[in-house]
Amino acid sequence: MIDYQSHLNPAQWEAVRTVDGPVLVLAGAGSGKTRTIVYRLAYMTQQGVPPQRILLLTFTRKAAQEMLHRAGQLMGHGPAALHGVQGGTFHAFAYSVLRRTPPPGFPDRCTLMDRSDAETVMREIKSTAGLGKGDRSFPKTGTILDHYSKARNKELPLDEVVKQESFHLIPYAGAMQQLCDAYAVFRREKGLLDYDDLLFGLESLFRHDPETLARCRERFSHVMVDEYQDTNLVQDRLVTLLVGTGEPGSMGGNVMAVGDDAQSIYAFRGANISNILTFPDRHHGTRLIKLEQNYRSTQPILDLTNAILSQAQAQFRKQLFSDRTDGPVPRLVRPLSDRTQAQIVCEEIIRQCAAYGPEQVAVLFRAGYHSYHLEVALNRAGVRFRKYGGLKYTEAAHIKDAMAYLRVAVNPADMPSMHRILAQVEGIGPKTAASLFNALMAGDAKTVAKLTKKHPQAADMLALLDRLRAAPPRPVPLLEQILEFYQPILERLHPDDHPRRRTGLEELVQIAAGYEDAGQFLADLHLENPEQPEAEGGPAVCLSTIHSAKGLEWRAVHIIDLVEDRFPSRQALLKAEDFEEERRLLYVACTRARDELSLYVPTSIYKRGQNISEPATASPFLREMGVHVFEEWREGYNGMLSKWGGMAREPGSTPAAPAKAQASPPWQPSAAVPKAPPPVSQAAQPAPGDLGWCRHKVFGRGKLVQHL
């Protein structure tokens, strides 16, 4: 039997044993919200709730699997103890229902589109409509889709979102609306679901088909949702539809929502912070539980994260505290450039890997491309790392190619996939691909015959597709046929690195081995986006965007590129609400650290395209923070790091004995993060003979290092 009370504090234990009725756990980072769900899974099962009646909604499938694994371990039976619990994302849950019953208005056979498929479709619609031709200011396909998705997720009219987000596109709002309407019709006709369709499609199914809703309610007696602060309006309604709210005076459904309003980082995608704040108003009899103690980080790290939050316009004030009062004070490191930053971080990582193990070290950044220099440095130093939040496994061209055959086998009307594979036939361009696809759709045998006569490889391809459709839908044998056909194409398209890509395709077959149904396999690949096949295994340092680091923790965390334009992003400097979201993002990043936290402010950033380094200004969040929450280290021109006011040391050598947080700062806040860049001369040209930072009439800002 698990001794719950010795593993949990009283508030956590209350949340665990309140199994009936609605519960809201609203608490700061690292306070044990996710741990509470894990113990509650074990507790509910021990209390006799059948595992298959539990629905666990999380931000990634991996998070759900991890929770189930831990709960199984607690129970001493491994994951099998909780076999039957349905755990994963809202999107995956929606698909699990929709694959049996498609949303109203959609055909029986539907396939999922990813972002690049959606762009293919939208491009086609744009060109058919003849909109934007010759107008270079006309919004790009990707921009139209971004606004469309935002409008759907925020549930606002498209022109409203255009007004809020992109003033310069207002004249095009009507044309954008026209294209989006056509895109919606196209998806319905061809049975193509984009990611947003999954959520809205499920809601519409629940509303139009009471039997399906009743079946789902019957199936899931208990629902738990982690990271509730990042749900959007439709996800919140789906939860309510599933569990019911209860009549006034009676108890609401068995639902537990868990989250932290201060960690809401998906407003840009339509997440609605008020979902969590108004939860008790909408679920009668909600038990509200707050957790105050942080078990993850040391107090010096929490002092810094509290300082970030103290400036925020957060709804619920939280002051995190920890029993772990000792530990190094967070470091603010000021390398001379982002390139030397990579070197300094790399050397710190080598030290920390030896002390903690590589899997306990992470580097976090705002956008995937920020880690470029670091990746080079780590590769050179032979440090193994795994990157999250960058290019996804399924986005690689050869993987997309192989999946496209499978998708067309499942749904012949899948236009983007059909175009993709037809375009691989030598001599077939986008126009012929479109004609052949349309002829196939219209059953125009004459045109099909004419085109395949001209392009015999296309005839072979159509024959393959017929064979795939006739075979049982088991993905492994289907993929084997596909790969045999695709191998010569792969060699022709990728003469340099086809063996490496072939290995990737073999991994795809291995992943498929766990599936009986090709449709489910495709959906899982799309929905779960495996970042890198786990086959590459072995402990590794984690490089991750902050968005992908949600909910996780490491003993040592580095946050790089804390400069204006990068973090916060340029866009966020323009709008107060975006700026606030960036602050929460920094809060999420810093609260991932258990023992050591380092923040980096490079003094200059190298612009690859322009081949110059530009001075960078420290992120405004650092300027607000106050100097008593970190100790500052600067890189000198000799490559040595020296503590502000302290002794120089080689990067990577053992840091000075952990300093205690000082009660009163020995210097003025403005001095802690002085304006980072060396002063830029505003004169158009430097005086002859001057060296240093300047602004050139043609080349812009740069550093004059030598007169020739």
32 marked as part of a ligand binding site: yes
If binding is defined by CB under 6 A, does position 352 make contact with ligand ATP? no
If binding is defined by CB under 5 A, does position 32 make contact with Mg ion? no
Task: Tell me whether residue 330 or residue 551 sits nearer to Mg ion (CB atom).
Answer: 551
134 marked as part of a ligand binding site: no
Measured CA to CA, the distance from residue 183 to residue 637 in angstroms comes to 56
Task: Tell me whether residue 294 or residue 603 sits nearer to ligand ATP (CB atom).
Answer: 294
Among 31, 34, 45, 272, binds Mg ion (CB under 5 A): 34
Measured CA to CA, the distance from residue 159 to residue 152 in angstroms comes to 12
Residue 76, Cα to own-chain centre: how many angstroms? Answer: 33
Region of residue 45 (phi > 0: left; psi between -120 and 50: alpha; otherwise: beta)? alpha
Helix (H) / strand (E) containing 460: helix 456-470
Measured CA to CA, the distance from residue 237 to residue 204 in angstroms comes to 11
| 188-213 b/e (C-beta count within 10 Å ≥ 16 → b) | bebbbbbbbbbbbbbbbbbeeeeebb
Report the nearest approach of ligand ATP to the CB of residue 322 (Å): 10
**Total residues at the site for ligand ATP (CB under 6 A)?**
18
Task: Tell me whether residue 270 or residue 551 sits nearer to Mg ion (CB atom).
Answer: 551
> 390, 409 in Cβ contact below 8 A?
no
If binding is defined by CB under 6 A, does position 12 make contact with ligand ATP? yes
The secondary structure of 401-441 as a DSSP string is HHHHHHHHHH-TT-HHHHHHHHTTSTT--HHHHHHHHHHHH
> 592, 552 in Cβ contact below 8 A?
yes
Report the nearest approach of ligand ATP to the CB of residue 34 (Å): 3
The secondary structure of 259-289 as a DSSP string is E-GGG---GGGTB-THHHHTHHHHSTT-EEE
Task: Tell me whether residue 153 or residue 229 sits nearer to ligand ATP (CB atom).
Answer: 229
Instruction: Show Cβ contacts of residue 261 under 8 Å, excluding neighbours closer than 6 positions.
Output: 26, 229, 273, 276, 277, 314, 315, 316
Among 30, 102, 358, 551, binds Mg ion (CB under 5 A): 551
Instruction: Show Cβ contacts of residue 175 under 8 Å, excluding neighbours closer than 6 positions.
Output: 131, 132, 138
Task: Tell me whether residue 69 or residue 695 sits nearer to ligand ATP (CB atom).
Answer: 69
If binding is defined by CB under 6 A, does position 318 make contact with ligand ATP? no
If binding is defined by CB under 5 A, does position 272 make contact with Mg ion? no
34 marked as part of a ligand binding site: yes
SS3 state at 140? coil
Q: Which two tokens stand for residue 391?
A: 């290019």
Q: Which stretch binds ligand ATP (CB under 6 A): 26-34, 348-356, 368-376, 617-625?
A: 26-34
Chain positions 545 to 574 lying near ligand ATP, rule: CB under 6 A, are: 551, 553
Among 23, 35, 232, 544, binds ligand ATP (CB under 6 A): 35
If binding is defined by CB under 6 A, does position 31 make contact with ligand ATP? yes
If binding is defined by CB under 6 A, does position 8 make contact with ligand ATP? yes
Task: Tell me whether residue 330 or residue 615 sits nearer to ligand ATP (CB atom).
Answer: 330
If binding is defined by CB under 6 A, does position 296 make contact with ligand ATP? yes
126 marked as part of a ligand binding site: no
Instruction: Show Cβ contacts of residue 82 under 8 Å, excluding neighbours closer than 6 positions.
Output: 41, 45, 51, 54, 68, 71, 72, 75
Q: Long-range CB contacts (< 8 A, 24+ apart) of 420-428?
A: 420/120, 421/461, 422/458, 422/461, 424/489, 424/493, 425/455, 425/457, 425/458, 425/461, 426/457, 426/492, 427/454, 427/455, 428/455, 428/458
Chain positions 606 to 635 lying near Mg ion, rule: CB under 5 A, are: none
28 marked as part of a ligand binding site: yes
Report the nearest approach of Mg ion to the CB of residue 45 (Å): 20
Chain positions 577 to 616 lying near ligand ATP, rule: CB under 6 A, are: 591
Report the nearest approach of ligand ATP to the CB of residue 167 (Å): 36
429 marked as part of a ligand binding site: no
Give the one entry of ligand ATP, Mg ion, none that residue 30 binds, where binding means its C-beta sits below a cut-off of 5 to 8 angstroms depending on kind: ligand ATP
Task: Tell me whether residue 318 or residue 334 sits nearer to ligand ATP (CB atom).
Answer: 318
| 234-270 b/e (C-beta count within 10 Å ≥ 16 → b) | bbbbbbbbbbbbbeeeebbbbbbbbbbbbbbbbbbeb
Q: Which stretch binds ligand ATP (CB under 6 A): 7-15, 129-137, 316-324, 402-410?
A: 7-15
Report the nearest approach of ligand ATP to the CB of residue 128 (Å): 46
Task: Tell me whether residue 81 or residue 590 sits nearer to ligand ATP (CB atom).
Answer: 590
In Å, how far are 50, 192, 225 from 251, measured between CA atoms? Answer: 21, 40, 19
Give the one entry of Mg ion, ligand ATP, none that residue 366 binds, where binding means its C-beta sits below a cut-off of 5 to 8 angstroms depending on kind: none
Among 295, 321, 579, 644, binds ligand ATP (CB under 6 A): 295
Give the one entry of Mg ion, ligand ATP, none that residue 296 binds, where binding means its C-beta sits below a cut-off of 5 to 8 angstroms depending on kind: ligand ATP
Task: Tell me whether residue 16 or residue 175 sits nearer to ligand ATP (CB atom).
Answer: 16
Sheet holding 331-334, edge to edge: 385-388, 541-545, 361-365, 554-559, 593-600, 331-334, 631-635, 641-643, 648-649
Give me the sign of the Cα torsion angle 369, 373, 376, 382.
negative
Q: Which two tokens stand for residue 520?
A: 């489910």
Q: Which two tokens stand for residue 498?
A: 């086809």
If binding is defined by CB under 6 A, does position 335 make contact with ligand ATP? no
Q: Which stretch binds Mg ion (CB under 5 A): 30-38, 40-48, 132-140, 649-657?
A: 30-38
If binding is defined by CB under 5 A, does position 120 make contact with Mg ion? no
31 marked as part of a ligand binding site: yes
Q: Which residues does residue 557 pair with via DSSP β-bridges, in sequence order?
A: 362, 597
Report the nearest approach of ligand ATP to the CB of residue 41 (Å): 13
Angle between helices 430-442 and 415-422 (to 10 degrees): 130
If binding is defined by CB under 6 A, does position 70 make contact with ligand ATP? no
Report the nearest approach of ligand ATP to the CB of residue 36 (Å): 7
If binding is defined by CB under 5 A, does position 60 make contact with Mg ion? no
Residue of 39, 7, 57, 26 whose CA lies nearest to 222: 57
Among 11, 15, 26, 29, binds ligand ATP (CB under 6 A): 29
Q: Which stretch binds ligand ATP (CB under 6 A): 32-40, 243-251, 566-574, 671-679?
A: 32-40
29 marked as part of a ligand binding site: yes
Q: Which two tokens stand for residue 497?
A: 């690195």
Q: Which stretch binds ligand ATP (CB under 6 A): 4-12, 60-68, 569-577, 635-643?
A: 4-12
SS3 state at 676? coil
Residue 272, Cα to own-chain centre: how many angstroms? Answer: 17
Please name the residue ranges forming H helices in 494-628. 498-512, 518-528, 576-590, 620-625
Q: Which stretch binds Mg ion (CB under 5 A): 409-417, 445-453, 550-558, 610-618?
A: 550-558
If binding is defined by CB under 6 A, does position 356 make contact with ligand ATP? no
Binding residues for ATP: 27-34
Binding residues: 27-34
Q: Which residues of this chain interact with ligand ATP, rule CB under 6 A?
A: 8-9, 12, 27, 29-35, 260, 263, 295-296, 551, 553, 591
Q: Which residues of this chain interact with Mg ion, rule CB under 5 A?
A: 33-34, 551
